[in-house]
């Protein structure tokens, strides 16, 4: 039977039925009848504008719902994703007014899922404590990687800026293009997301920090797409949006202190090496036992859900192997051991002030296990290379980076995956400044696929 056959005419009845589903683990589906959504999602416009509705649409279609449509509400940035099953309407509600509104909706029990383009804040964790630990793996779901693109008009000759320069522009300290380019001049027009936006929260955290205010002349937008279109039509404009909303504007390469300027491309964003990369989240009450919610999350984490992520314009978490390039950077030993390898589009990272893998890394262990079972990867060996931030001594930084790689090796061993001996290169190849809170981004483990028969790497690792 179809997964959504259990539809009812009254909110009072919750019924389950037996079927052979694609998604449901326990062969049960609970659905609320006419006038009630399967579940409601509220929060981030970055997720809710396109990604959330498209994930909901494909999810319903995978469960046999027919004629599924994404129906805009009369209220801007609100949608109903609806279809029919046996003549009955099945639908999911989405309201996208900013990440903070999603957490407020969880607290008021007016949403089942909070969409957020930033991590949950400490004060929100405390406010939602009655729902359980909102930092638990059952509550926090990283569904995609996004890069905040800093945009200018396509005719603007400026190609790259540092995080520090961007901060000065958006605070108004730099207010004319002639201060950034010898080929361009004129007053800078600033466009920014609104205060409810997770995009704004992330930009403020990664660029402005706590001490640098946004210029009072900045024009604010609730919509990423509208902001991008405004910048692309303004020769003197600059703004920031989620990666899926670059549209016709020109994204700049971005560098941090003592790092290489990077474009917001698939590999740089997927590995979170790009300075303004960020994670997109769904949050649920960890104690929730609502089957549609749990099964929707399982779908989103799976390969089909992640393909939707890619189609919408974000970076999926399905691993991709990329052949190493000649312009790679790092110590000679690192370059030699990865010379014939392919780097995977994921980095393992850790909880703050902890040696434990964070929630995304724990999901990535599962994804990596599935990826290695593909036929084309069965003759490849796995190489884990740890990096870190600067410590009191170079040797301590080196030891900690190797321990991080060993932690990933141990987690993979639990999944039955063996790896080559691990390597660690300390504070080499920083992807963020080594001062302040950003330094945590440098604590990471790269993953490489090495062809069997590459004897030089065995010798190199044995000598470390």
Residue 307 has pLDDT above 60, yes or no: yes
At residue 403, the 3 state secondary structure works out as helix
* CA–CA dist 27, 6 (Å, integer): 12
* CA–CA dist 452, 458 (Å, integer): 11
Residue 169 has pLDDT above 90, yes or no: yes
* CA–CA dist 125, 147 (Å, integer): 25
Query: What number is the average pLDDT over the span 149-163?
Result: 97
Contact yes or no for 99/197 (Cβ under 8 A): yes
Q: Is residue 32 in some structural domain?
A: no
Residue 185, number of CB atoms within 10 A of its CB: 12
Query: What number is the average pLDDT over the span 448-456?
Result: 79
pLDDT tens, position by position, 325-337? 656 777 889 998 9
Please report, rounded to a whole number, the percentage of residues in the chain having pLDDT higher than 70: 89
Residues, the chain = 464
Query: What number is the average pLDDT over the span 83-107?
Result: 95
* CA–CA dist 462, 426 (Å, integer): 18
pLDDT band at 324 (very low <50, low <70, confident <90, very high): low
Please give the mean pLDDT across all residues of the chain: 88
pLDDT score recorded for residue 179:
98
* CA–CA dist 78, 302 (Å, integer): 26
pLDDT tens, position by position, 260-299? 899 998 899 999 999 999 999 999 999 888 899 999 999 9
Top pLDDT among 274 and 11 is at 274
**Contacts (Cβ under 8 Å, ≥6 apart) of 392:** none
What one-character DSSP code corresponds to residue 357? B
* CA–CA dist 44, 194 (Å, integer): 11
Residue 456 has pLDDT above 60, yes or no: no
CATH of the domain at 369: 3.30.1330.60
334 and 455 co-located in one domain: yes
To which residue do tokens 């930092």 refer?
Answer: 135
Query: What number is the average pLDDT over the span 53-58?
Result: 98
16: closest CA among 27, 425, 24, 25?
27
303 and 403 co-located in one domain: no
pLDDT tens, position by position, 125-142? 999 999 999 999 999 999
Residue 23 has pLDDT above 60, yes or no: no
Residue 349 has pLDDT above 70, yes or no: yes
pLDDT band at 28 (very low <50, low <70, confident <90, very high): very low
153 and 255 co-located in one domain: yes
Q: Is residue 13 in some structural domain?
A: no
118 and 157 co-located in one domain: no
Contact yes or no for 424/352 (Cβ under 8 A): no
CA distances from 14 to 7, 225, 333, 348, 408 (A): 9, 40, 61, 41, 43
Query: What number is the average pLDDT over the span 92-110?
Result: 97
* CA–CA dist 42, 116 (Å, integer): 9
Residue 438 has pLDDT above 70, yes or no: yes
172 and 96 co-located in one domain: no
pLDDT tens, position by position, 223-264? 999 999 999 999 999 999 998 899 999 999 999 987 889 999
282: closest CA among 307, 305, 266, 311?
305
350 and 442 co-located in one domain: yes
Cα 125 off chain centre by: 20
Domain count, the chain: 3
pLDDT band at 121 (very low <50, low <70, confident <90, very high): very high
Please report, rounded to a whole number, the percentage of residues in the chain having pLDDT higher than 90: 72
203 and 78 co-located in one domain: no
pLDDT band at 345 (very low <50, low <70, confident <90, very high): very high
- Rounded to two decimals, the pTM is 0.82
357 and 306 co-located in one domain: no
Per the structure, the complete domain to which residue 300 belongs is given by 40-142+280-312
Phi, psi (deg, nearest 5) at residue 161: -140, 155
pLDDT band at 110 (very low <50, low <70, confident <90, very high): very high
pLDDT band at 145 (very low <50, low <70, confident <90, very high): very high
Q: Is residue 34 in some structural domain?
A: no
Long-range contacts of 438-441 (CB under 8 A, 24+ apart): 438/206, 438/256, 439/389, 439/390, 440/349, 440/352, 440/389, 441/272, 441/349
Phi-psi region of 190 (alpha: psi -120 to 50; beta: other; left: phi over 0): beta
209 and 229 co-located in one domain: yes
Top pLDDT among 198 and 43 is at 43
Inter-axis angle of helices 51-62 and 291-301, to 10 degrees? 110
User: Token digits for 218?
Assistant: 């900045």
pLDDT score recorded for residue 326:
52
Burial of 258 (0-12, 13-18, 19+ CB in 10 A): exposed
pLDDT score recorded for residue 463:
52
337 and 455 co-located in one domain: yes
CATH of the domain at 130: 3.40.190.10
pLDDT band at 340 (very low <50, low <70, confident <90, very high): confident
Q: Is residue 10 in some structural domain?
A: no
pLDDT score recorded for residue 457:
58
List of E strands, 55-193 = 66-72, 78-85, 88-96, 113-116, 140-152, 160-162, 189-193
* CA–CA dist 271, 348 (Å, integer): 9
Q: Is residue 424 in some structural domain?
A: yes
Pairing label, strands 40-43, 113-116 = parallel
pLDDT score recorded for residue 2:
42
130 and 156 co-located in one domain: no
pLDDT score recorded for residue 461:
57
pLDDT score recorded for residue 207:
94
155: closest CA among 267, 76, 250, 266?
250
Q: Is residue 79 in some structural domain?
A: yes
Q: What kind and span of H or E run contains 120?
A: none
141: closest CA among 288, 322, 264, 321?
288
Strand order in the sheet with 342-348: 321-323, 342-348, 444-451, 380-387, 423-424
Residue 3 has pLDDT above 80, yes or no: no
What one-character DSSP code corresponds to residue 32? -
* CA–CA dist 13, 302 (Å, integer): 30
Query: What number is the average pLDDT over the span 69-76?
Result: 94
Q: Is residue 21 in some structural domain?
A: no
pLDDT tens, position by position, 416-429? 999 999 999 999 88
Q: Is residue 3 in some structural domain?
A: no
User: Token digits for 42?
Assistant: 């509220």
Residue 12 has pLDDT above 90, yes or no: no
pLDDT score recorded for residue 464:
55
46 and 133 co-located in one domain: yes
List, in sequence order, every residue forming a beta bridge with 99; answer none if it has no partner: none
pLDDT band at 344 (very low <50, low <70, confident <90, very high): very high
Cα 147 off chain centre by: 8
Top pLDDT among 344 and 16 is at 344
pLDDT score recorded for residue 327:
62
């Amino acid at each position: 039977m179809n997964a959504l056959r259990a539809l009812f005419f009254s909110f009072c009845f919750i019924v389950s039925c037996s079927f052979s589903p694609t998604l449901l683990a326990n062969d049960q589906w609970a659905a609320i009848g006419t006038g009630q959504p399967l579940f409601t999602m509220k929060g981030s416009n970055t997720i809710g504008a396109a990604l959330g509705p498209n994930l909901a649409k494909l999810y319903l279609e995978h469960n046999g719902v027919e004629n599924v449509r994404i129906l805009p509400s009369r209220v801007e940035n609100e949608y109903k994703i609806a279809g029919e099953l046996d003549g009955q309407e099945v639908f999911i509600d989405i309201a996208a007014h900013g990440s903070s509104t999603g957490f407020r909706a969880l607290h008021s029990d007016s949403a089942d899922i909070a969409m957020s383009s930033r991590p949950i804040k400490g004060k929100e964790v405390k406010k939602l404590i009655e729902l359980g630990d909102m930092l638990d793996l059952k509550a926090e779901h990283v569904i995609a990687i996004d890069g905040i693109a800093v945009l200018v008009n396509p005719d603007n000759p400026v190609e790259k800026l540092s995080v520090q320069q961007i901060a000065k522009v958006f605070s108004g300290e730099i207010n004319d293009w002639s201060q950034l380019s010898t080929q361009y001049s004129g007053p800078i027009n600033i466009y920014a997301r609104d205060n409810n936006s997770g995009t704004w929260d992330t930009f403020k955290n990664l660029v402005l920090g706590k001490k640098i205010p946004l210029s009072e002349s900045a024009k604010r937008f609730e919509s990423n797409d509208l902001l991008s279109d405004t910048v692309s039509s303004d020769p003197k404009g600059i703004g920031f949006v989620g990666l899926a909303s670059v549209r016709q504007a020109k994204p700049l390469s971005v560098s941090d202190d003592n790092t290489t300027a990077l474009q917001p491309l698939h590999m740089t964003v997927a590995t979170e090496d790009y300075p303004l990369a960020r994670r997109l989240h769904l949050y649920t009450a960890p104690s929730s036992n609502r089957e549609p919610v749990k099964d929707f999350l399982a779908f989103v984490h799976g390969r089909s859900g992640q393909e939707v992520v890619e189609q919408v314009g974000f970076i999926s978490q399905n691993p991709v192997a990329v052949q190493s390039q000649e312009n790679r950077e790092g110590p000679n030993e690192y370059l030699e051991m990865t010379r014939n390898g392919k780097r995977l589009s994921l980095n393992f990272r850790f909880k703050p002030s902890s040696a434990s893998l964070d929630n995304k890394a724990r999901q990535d262990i599962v994804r990596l296990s599935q990826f290695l079972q593909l036929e084309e990867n069965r003759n490849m060996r796995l190489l884990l290379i740890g990096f870190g931030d600067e410590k009191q001594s170079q040797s301590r930084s080196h030891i900690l980076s190797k321990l991080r790689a060993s932690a990933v090796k141990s987690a993979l061993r639990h999944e039955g995956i063996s790896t080559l001996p691990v390597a660690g290169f300390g504070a080499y190849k920083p992807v963020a400044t080594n001062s302040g809170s950003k330094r945590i981004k440098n604590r990471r483990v790269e993953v490489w696929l090495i062809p069997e028969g590459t004897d030089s790497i065995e010798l190199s690792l044995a000598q470390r």
